[in-house]
């Protein structure tokens, strides 16, 4: 017969004999685990809701007018040695970054079965004038129907109708943030002054809100209007947006396009890399801080065990003198640390779960649209792994914290205690 039960019993009795201290330590572990779980959930939720939104309402790949490599010299041709050549035209550098003959480029891109939608875009910065306000504004010329398949304006309109843009040649559709900047409402007329000094009048036919600032800052006109403003020919655009069927393939698609068309292509990860990196950095900082919360809780565990061991020198001595072995004494105190961590982690998981529910019901901005895309609540990540990892972490910290005191207990020399030397 083994004495495992007896060892557990001794560990438990000693813990419960110091109820207040034990409860405080359990609370420390519990709070640490709770904070860790909710912090991980918050950071994970922020990043994944950000990515979700991008993936849902932003182009997966953007083909830009920038060339992958400069144009090959066209002065290289075959001729006999000594032949005289009359050079009419030198190599032209094309500073303007635009996609020429975009319909052919689109056809080329669409030949990839992964590509589901393409949408040509002209972007140009103008000075927008409305009332007394006059400030620069980046506008996008689009083919409304095709762009809608990428950014999904039609389900995010808060005033006006999306179809109006196509019907109104001088129509302007803008995001809620941009509209607020100018104080614009449906039906308002404003003027755009182009780089070339020409003035164009446009009319607000719709206002949308996606919840993503980058998109809600934008203003859209018909493709032809933007081409006029930018001074592009009808077959020239600045970018082509596209969506792919399988998101994991976006990188391969972008590289294929670059190879086949010589136009630089970027995936959404590449475009948003600095934002994603920022999210990850903030996450790291948060985890770092939370790490210390648990570490402090670990000190609590060490404290409880050290006091238990110091106060129990006599008991340890007597246990040794009635036949308990060194290893068994160690186990008693390791068990105490483990028990505190287990109970604390269980409580922390429960509290963490409740906190996640509470946090995900907090309103962060007043609702401006009742569409499904817009979220005005904190997106909390949900995964059982948060609980498993936080508990494991607390357990490891507590185990490490209990090793020292437990070994100290095993080293107690009964003779010193029994003689009353300590």
Partner 1 sequence: MPEAIIRFEHVSRTLISKSNGVEVDTTILPDLSFEIERGEFTAITGPSGSGKTTMLYLMGGLDKPTTGKVFLEDLEISSMNEDELSEVRNAKLGFVYQFHFLLPEFSSLENVMMPMVARGRYSAQQARKKATELLSDVGLSDKLNSRPNQLSGGQQQRVAIARALANDPLVLLTDEPTGNLDSKNSAMVFDLFKELNEKHKQTIVVVTHDEAFASKTQRIIHILDGKVHSDTRM
| Residues lying near partner 1 in the complex (CB under 8 A) | 1-3, 5-6, 10, 13-14, 16-17, 314-315, 317-327, 414-415, 418-419
Q: How far is the CB of 333 from partner 1 (least distance, A)?
A: 15
Residue 306 or 418: the one with the smaller Cβ distance to partner 1 is: 418
Dihedral sign for Cα 225, 226, 232, 236, please: negative
Q: How far is the CB of 27 from partner 1 (least distance, A)?
A: 22
Q: How far is the CB of 295 from partner 1 (least distance, A)?
A: 30
Contact 362, 378 (CB under 8 A): yes
Residue 84 or 322: the one with the smaller Cβ distance to partner 1 is: 322
Q: What DSSP string describes 140-196? A: EEE-HHHHHHHH--TTSEEEE-THHHHH-TTEEEEEHHHHHHHT--TT-EEEEE-TT
Residue 185 or 326: the one with the smaller Cβ distance to partner 1 is: 326
Residue 236: strand pairing partners = 100
Residue 6 or 111: the one with the smaller Cβ distance to partner 1 is: 6
Q: How far is the CB of 300 from partner 1 (least distance, A)?
A: 21
Residue 66 burial by Cβ neighbours in a 10 Å radius (0-12, 13-18, 19+): middle
Q: How far is the CB of 334 from partner 1 (least distance, A)?
A: 18
Structure tokens at 397: 């910290």
Exposure string of 200-228, with b = 16+ CB inside 10 Å and e = fewer, is bebebbbbbbbbbeebbebbbbbbebbbb
Residue 17 or 195: the one with the smaller Cβ distance to partner 1 is: 17
Q: How far is the CB of 355 from partner 1 (least distance, A)?
A: 35
Residue 157: strand pairing partners = 208
Residue 250 or 315: the one with the smaller Cβ distance to partner 1 is: 315
- Scan for tokens 């943030």, then name that residue: 177
Other beta carbons less than 10 A from residue 363's beta carbon: 9
Dihedral sign for Cα 99, 101, 103, 108, please: negative
Q: How far is the CB of 401 from partner 1 (least distance, A)?
A: 22
Q: Which of 297, 298, 336 is nearest to 316 (CA)?
A: 336
Residue 176 or 330: the one with the smaller Cβ distance to partner 1 is: 330
């Amino acid at each position: 017969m083994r004495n495992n039960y007896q060892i557990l019993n001794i560990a438990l009795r000693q813990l419960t004999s110091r109820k207040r201290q034990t409860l405080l330590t359990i609370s420390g572990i519990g709070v640490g685990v709770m904070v860790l779980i909710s912090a991980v959930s918050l950071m994970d939720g922020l990043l994944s809701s950000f990515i979700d939104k991008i993936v849902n309402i932003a182009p997966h790949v953007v083909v830009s007018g920038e060339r992958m490599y400069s144009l090959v010299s066209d002065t290289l041709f075959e001729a006999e040695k000594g032949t005289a050549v009359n050079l009419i035209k030198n190599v032209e550098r094309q500073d303007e970054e635009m996609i020429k003959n975009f319909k052919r480029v689109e056809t080329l891109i669409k030949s990839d079965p992964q590509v589901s939608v393409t949408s040509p875009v002209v972007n140009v910065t103008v000075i927008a004038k409305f009332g007394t306000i006059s400030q620069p504004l980046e506008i996008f010329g689009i083919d409304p129907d095709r762009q809608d398949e990428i950014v999904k304006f039609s389900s995010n309109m808060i005033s006006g109708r999306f179809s109006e843009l196509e019907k109104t040649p001088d129509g302007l559709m803008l995001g809620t943030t941009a509209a607020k900047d100018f104080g614009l409402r449906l039906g308002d007329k404003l003027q755009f002054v182009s780089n070339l000094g020409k003035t164009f009048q446009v009319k607000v036919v719709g206002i949308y809100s996606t919840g993503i600032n980058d998109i809600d800052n934008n203003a859209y006109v018909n493709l032809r209007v933007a081409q006029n403003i930018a001074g592009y020919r009808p077959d020239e655009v600045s970018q082509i947006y596209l969506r792919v069927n399988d998101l994991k393939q976006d990188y391969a698609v972008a590289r294929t396009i670059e190879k086949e068309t010589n136009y630089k292509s970027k995936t959404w990860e590449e475009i948003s890399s600095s934002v994603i990196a920022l999210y990850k950095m903030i996450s790291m900082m948060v985890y770092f801080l939370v790490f210390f919360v648990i570490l402090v809780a670990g000190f609590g565990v060490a404290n409880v065990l050290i006091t238990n061991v110091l106060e129990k020198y006599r008991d340890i001595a007597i246990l040794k003198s009635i036949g308990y072995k060194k290893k068994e004494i160690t186990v008693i105190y390791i068990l105490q640390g483990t028990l505190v961590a287990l109970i604390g982690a269980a409580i922390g998981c429960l509290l963490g779960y409740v906190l996640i529910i509470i946090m995900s019901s907090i309103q962060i901005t007043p609702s401006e649209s009742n569409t499904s895309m817009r979220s005005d609540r904190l997106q909390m990540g949900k995964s059982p792994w948060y609980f498993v990892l936080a508990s494991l972490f607390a357990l490891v910290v507590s185990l490490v914290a209990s090793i020292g005191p437990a070994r100290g207990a095993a080293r107690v020399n009964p003779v010193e205690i029994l003689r009353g030397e300590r």
